[in-house]
Structure 1
């Protein structure tokens, strides 16, 4: 199995990282110099971790990240960029990146972060989910049911976490106030939109299971046990 796929157009940096991670650290490493054809390569090689530059010819790193998440590919992803801005980091994490490093790359920091993410990948691989039981994994914001891993955006993760902590039906107003910390306005539809969006996503992956249900005059609740990892 391929441990790490490096996607970086800077030849010198790509070769340095390949040497560091394969020769020095002993990982099984492959690399690409462009984003073109990256998704096909990822699907074929199935790397445990992708070290992904944001600015790439052919297809940008953020586009590749978005496609990886859309296809529900389980590889951990660490983004790399020379643009040390909060917005760039936020965009990467919102799209589902597991970590983010700025250039110039500090080798010791990068290796530590890679090892941390690979450890999480290994832990994920050993998880055996019980029948009809869900797991919410903080490491990569994922909802797991049996062998199916569904990546969640932050608003979806937050919603599930609130319902787990409540362990009972919650009115929309209570969910809103728990998430935002201020009073709910009756015209605000944001919580309904979150619930609807998450239900539609889960329906694509788990058509036989309805996780979030609504009890009349009581509110929304989780129909199955969900454990935090």
Structure 2
């Protein structure tokens, strides 16, 4: 799918140059000439990347970055700054800009930085997508440490989270207490294996609110298994 870029730049000549060069690289490009218009187009289009001039009419690029980052920590933002504008560079990076490009710039460098930012963002999305573990209506993301069941967010302690990850990664396999303890508590843990039963009980309670089906089952004389509800 073609990636989209929003250029927020009030100098018409620079904006047009950027549009031509980026479209030649295969990107879909929109242009805004002020902070207000940039915010409107960002909200409408949800672009894959923003090229954002710091000095803009309406409100500044730094203010636009602040408003974007208030609700979006992921979309790459590259600042276009004046050569001597150290304060703007620092402010932008502190507010969450991914990179900055100093004017006047070489178009080859700008395109390389755009490619790098998009590649990094794509890699993060892939990690998050690949990190979901599921069983029935239970979902767990290892990268973001989110746990949900039927859309309900479930809060787990770090140990409870690690236990659930191990059970999900070994879904439908019967696991004895020693296996669970070694994987979750580590080889050097010398505590009672009853701690496994205690934490299984904690996790079960959190997963089965509102009369939901049990996902973690006891296998008498052996241990536990997590499997989809029938």
The interval holding the TM-score normalised by the smaller chain is: 0.5 to 0.7
- Paired residue for 1:45? 45
Q: Secondary structure at the match of 2:20?
A: helix
- Paired residue for 1:58? 58
Deviation of 1:27 after TM superposition, in Å, equals 1.1
Instruction: Tell me: CA distance 1:222–1:33, structure 2 relative to 1, closer, same or farther (3 Å).
Output: farther
Q: How many residues align?
A: 149
Q: Taking structure 1 as the reference length, what is the TM-score of the superposition?
A: 0.58
- The runs of 5 or more residues in structure 1 that have no matched partner are 136-143, 148-205, 212-220
Establish whether residue 209 from structure 1 lines up as the match of residue 209 from structure 2: no
Instruction: Tell me: CA distance 1:209–1:116, structure 2 relative to 1, closer, same or farther (3 Å).
Output: same
Q: Secondary structure at the match of 1:78?
A: strand
CA deviation map 1:164-189 (0-9, x unaligned): xxxxxxxxxxxxxxxxxxxxxxxxxx
Structure 1 or 2, whichever has the larger Rg, is 2
| TM alignment of 1:64-75, pairs within 5 A | 64-72=64-72, 74-75=74-75
| CA-atom RMSD in angstroms | 2.6
Q: Provide the rounded CA distance (Å) in 2 between the counterparts of 1:18 and 1:223.
A: 50
| TM alignment of 1:150-165, pairs within 5 A | none
Contact residue 51 and residue 78 of structure 1 kept, 8 A? yes
| TM alignment of 1:1-229, pairs within 5 A | 3-23=4-24, 25-72=25-72, 74-127=74-127, 128=129, 129-130=131-132, 131-135=139-143, 144-146=144-146, 208-209=154-155, 224=161
- The runs of 5 or more residues in structure 2 that have no matched partner are 133-138, 163-230
Instruction: Tell me: CA distance 1:37–1:85, structure 2 relative to 1, closer, same or farther (3 Å).
Output: closer
